[in-house]
Structure 1
Amino acid sequence: MEPDVLVVGAGPVGLALACALLQHDVSVQVVDKAQGPATTSRANFVHARGSEVLDRLDALSGLPEESVRAMAITTYAGDRPMMRIRFGDPGLDTAAPPMVISQARVEARLRERLAELGGRPEWGSALVAADQDADGVTAVLGDGRTVRTRWLIGCDGTSSTVRKLAGIGFPGVKVSERFLLVDAHLDTTLDRSGTSGWVHPEGMLGAMPMPGDQWRLLAYDPQFRDDKPSEEQIVERMRRILPGRTSNLGGRLLEASWASLFSVHRRLADTYRRGRILLAGDAAHVHAPFGGQGMLTGIGDAENLAWKLALIVHGLAGEQLLATYQTERRPLATQVLRGSTATTKINIASGPVGRFLRDHVLVPVFNIGRLQRWATYTTSQLWVSYRRGPLGGRGPRPRPGDRIPDVACERADGTRTRLHAELRGRWAVLGDRDLFEAARRRLGDRVVHLRPTGPLPAMLVRPDAHLACKGDPTRWLDGALA
């Protein structure tokens, strides 16, 4: 059977996309060149927006309970505390607060959800060729198999084969900012209720508590010149620099479970689509890890693309709807790139001017509670709105394109529920029966009728929890889905 969509890459973005497509009753095949799933990962933070997406995929279950709630960051100069930032739930009706949890665990839960929906990744299946025509794409896998699909989506990371085969440019830089990464047990008195970081002339160093009584150590280390070090060499280097950079507050590195060396990339694809081939996640944008925005932005791409592609596959919308995927998501990636670049420069500042600005200007500013709440809100991505895009609009808030919180609602039979729990592969009408019937004439059974329990206007909500329109949805649907 030919799948409607072939997803290349079984990381968090590819898995989220596959789950979302199956929720929308779109057939999907997932392939990955790796021989099996990753057991370790660089990403280890899920912001509130990420929790919302996982919740709408019905893939959040169990993760909050596994996560570490280390929501404070204390920055030291030697043994002197300089700044303490408190992160947390921005209080905007979210499914779950931020979570410190390995990307590998998020992927494992997404694979479980994919299996519940009837799918599975095909490991050891590399994409080697792709030839598209007006009706679809013929993909060739490394074992010689040919897959004919209507749409091919590249979720295969920074070195994306899909992007290269599509001839999509990926301008940007691979810079010389080199970081050591080690997961280990420490003999330390550090507080596990938060992350600790140290500014030091030789480079910053951070320690984040992880599940299993481990710590994740991250160190900027431009002096470490070995291009392909072994894990043992990385661990030994971290063991040597830990006491000096932390004034012994970091304690002693005991046993390490994983180590890696990475350099920062900053790149953004020229376009997210070429014909019937599209990109999502790191295949489309990659940046510094500070702020935990990479996986968050990628799974947001997946959810945005899935409902639009589903409407096209089911014949409910024209292909021009896909243009809104790039116009809604690429500006966000540009903003994330700028923000993560600025954060990196602040963290690794080594010259006298940079250190002065960081230590004597930015540190006092970020000790202000209002600024800390702003930082929580900004990194959460709950502020993301598409009101300025082709599906957005003006008027009193909430405006078309704005995120709608996870508000309490009632089903038509009076059963209490949450809005986002009802959006799993569906649209929602909050309002009277006539508005629901108007939406159902265009969307069929992919829309649910809800009644708000609070003061909300009548509205049509997209499957990704953004407002489509207020009042009668007929005109908006006829225009957006034409």
Structure 2
Amino acid sequence: MAESAEVLVVGAGPAGLALACALRLHGVAVRVVDQAPGPATTSRANILHARGAEVLDRLGALGDLPDRSAPALVLTTYIGGRAALVTRFGEAAPGMPRPALVLPQTDIEAQLRSRLAELGVDVEWGTTLTDLAEDDHGVTAVLDGGRKVRAGWLAGCDGSHSTVRKLAGIPFPGAPLTDQWLLADVHAGWDLARAGGHGWAHRDGPLFAMPMPTPAGGGPDDRWRLMAYLPGAKEEALTEPEILTAFRRLVGARAGLDGEKIRDAVWASVFRAHRRLVDAYRRGRILLAGDAAHIHSPMGGQGMVTGMGDAENLAWKLALVIQGHAGEQLLDTYQDERRPLATEVLRTTSATTRLQIGDSPLARLLVKWVLVPLGNHPAVQRRSTQIASQLGVSYRRGPLAVRGSLLGPGRRPRSGDRVPDMRCVDAHGDVTRLHAELGGRWALLATARTASACRSEAGAALGDRVVVLTPADGRDDEVWLVRPDAHLAWRGRPASGGLGRWLRGALQHGRAQA
């Protein structure tokens, strides 16, 4: 007899772990499998932007990560051997109570696994998906050894080489963006300032050096993340010693550093930047999230935050469908809301990469005389940080957003916008934060007088996962319904009937009705 789960999540990276945590907070039974023998030990990505930190907060998985993080990512870019651009990337800004986390991906995954274990689920390591079969009522997943798991839904969060995507027959069109890049975490005895990262523009391609946090167990403060572009290089597997030898040569040629001060490598890899995006995020009862759905250049560090945003968006919709509160049409809005963002991320990271590796005289002039002066302007840096943070992501144009404002022009946020974390008072009179009350719940923001008119209506549609909060600066003439992912679902007059219309349209038809 097949084992069972309401949702089988394949892949225990940031997207898969975030999805599993969010589903558990909604009361959904989940299993998580991963073909790796155990948790990753190599650092991989080393920044999680502010939106990702907010997701961790809502999932109850933030823990002490902010205390372990570097305060911000400051990148000094050198042209012709001189510092030309200093970018303060990821600092806190208005509307950004949580700045970026500058930490290895392994630390973030460990925190998510710990939270998932608190929610009653352990990752099943060394478990490979070999086949799947879908029908009208669920998916039968075949694991190595012939073991079968019967699940209502299957989520592929298994990376760019996704087995789920291939078995489901979902196309993944795209192409390589660049030739080879070298990547390594090394111990090096340079005198470079460790308060931020360093990048050297060079006609043969850029070189980057980022300080890595001191390991939790202590040790010398001399770890660096190195990344270098190799134009025209053949796609081939290089050994760790070969990568180390190449870096010792490149840091001298491009940055004027002593390559012999690189003592050894903690980890080394070769990769090519690709730009790919799936045609469909969902095929029947099979769904994709994170790198299984989209991959792009690592420039800008958008991979983790985009995948975790996918997971949070999908979780509450899938939970409502599983628990009978919504029709399957609601799941179509997952792609409608998230694919445009992925398209924009692919566009911006591709453009950034092309500028970084451009070696024509025109490209070098553009960087030196246009982009560098603009990049040093504080307003441009604030805007760049806001874009990278993904705090400005809005679903206003998506099918669940009410067009325009029901309360007149100029009212912000609008339906589909992210609602900033705000001070609220709960039903017991205790002060709390909006985002701390979300994760597995919806929030009805209303004063005591207006809440009664909408509480029963929201509860009838959404079940018992609605919390009533009074904002510290609440208006007595309106009510907000905030989604579990902190986006505004509906905002309007308490006795207008608009909330009921929105709930019926969104949950049953996947379309908002004003």
Do the aligned residues in 2 keep the contact of 1:242 with 1:252 (CA within 8 Å)? no
Percent sequence identity is 56
Determine helix, strand or coil for the equivalent of 2:4: coil
Tell me what 1:450 maps to: 469
Determine helix, strand or coil for the equivalent of 1:3: strand
- Shift of the 72–249 alpha-carbon distance from structure 1 to 2, 3 Å rule, reads farther
Deviation per residue, 1:339-358 (Å, 9 max, x gap): 00000011111121111111
Tell me what 2:149 maps to: 147
TM-score by length of 2: 0.91
- Shift of the 140–122 alpha-carbon distance from structure 1 to 2, 3 Å rule, reads same
Tell me what 1:430 maps to: 445
Task: Determine the C-alpha separation between the residues in 2 that align with 1:148 and 1:407.
Answer: 41
Superposed, 1:202-351 pairs within 5 Å as: 202-212=204-214, 213=221, 214-222=223-231, 224-225=233-234, 227-248=236-257, 252-351=261-360
- Matched to 2:105, the amino acid is Q
Tell me what 1:412 maps to: 427
CA root-mean-square deviation: 1.5
Do the aligned residues in 1 keep the contact of 2:72 with 2:100 (CA within 8 Å)? no
Tell me what 2:385 maps to: 376
- Shift of the 148–16 alpha-carbon distance from structure 1 to 2, 3 Å rule, reads same
TM-score by length of 1: 0.97
Do the aligned residues in 2 keep the contact of 1:190 with 1:249 (CA within 8 Å)? no
Determine helix, strand or coil for the equivalent of 1:240: helix
More displaced stretch, 64-73 vs 134-143: 64-73
Tell me what 1:475 maps to: 501
Deviation, 1:90, is: 4.6
Do the aligned residues in 1 keep the contact of 2:249 with 2:259 (CA within 8 Å)? no
Deviation, 1:8, is: 0.6
Tell me what 2:408 maps to: none
- Matched to 2:197, the amino acid is T
Task: Determine the C-alpha separation between the residues in 1 that align with 2:358 and 2:474.
Answer: 48
- Shift of the 402–193 alpha-carbon distance from structure 1 to 2, 3 Å rule, reads same
More displaced stretch, 169-178 vs 131-140: 169-178
Superposed, 1:25-174 pairs within 5 Å as: 25-94=27-96, 96-174=98-176
More displaced stretch, 63-72 vs 143-152: 63-72
Do the aligned residues in 2 keep the contact of 1:51 with 1:95 (CA within 8 Å)? no
Runs (5+) with no aligned partner, structure 1? none
Task: Determine the C-alpha separation between the residues in 1 that align with 2:287 and 2:172.
Answer: 14
- Which of 345, 350, 363 is 2:372 aligned to? 363
Runs (5+) with no aligned partner, structure 2? 215-220, 406-410, 509-514
Tell me what 2:511 maps to: none
Determine helix, strand or coil for the equivalent of 2:36: coil
Task: Determine the C-alpha separation between the residues in 2 that align with 1:321 and 1:228.
Answer: 44
- Matched to 1:433, the amino acid is A
Question: Are 2:494 and 1:439 aligned?
Answer: no
- Shift of the 112–364 alpha-carbon distance from structure 1 to 2, 3 Å rule, reads same
- Matched to 2:421, the amino acid is D
Task: Determine the C-alpha separation between the residues in 2 that align with 1:455 and 1:254.
Answer: 59
Deviation, 1:93, is: 4.1
Task: Determine the C-alpha separation between the residues in 2 that align with 1:423 and 1:73.
Answer: 34
Task: Determine the C-alpha separation between the residues in 1 that align with 2:234 and 2:132.
Answer: 39
- Shift of the 6–109 alpha-carbon distance from structure 1 to 2, 3 Å rule, reads same
Determine helix, strand or coil for the equivalent of 1:22: helix
Determine helix, strand or coil for the equivalent of 1:397: coil
Deviation, 1:224, is: 4.8
The number of residues matched between the two structures is 482
Task: Determine the C-alpha separation between the residues in 2 that align with 1:68 and 1:333.
Answer: 27
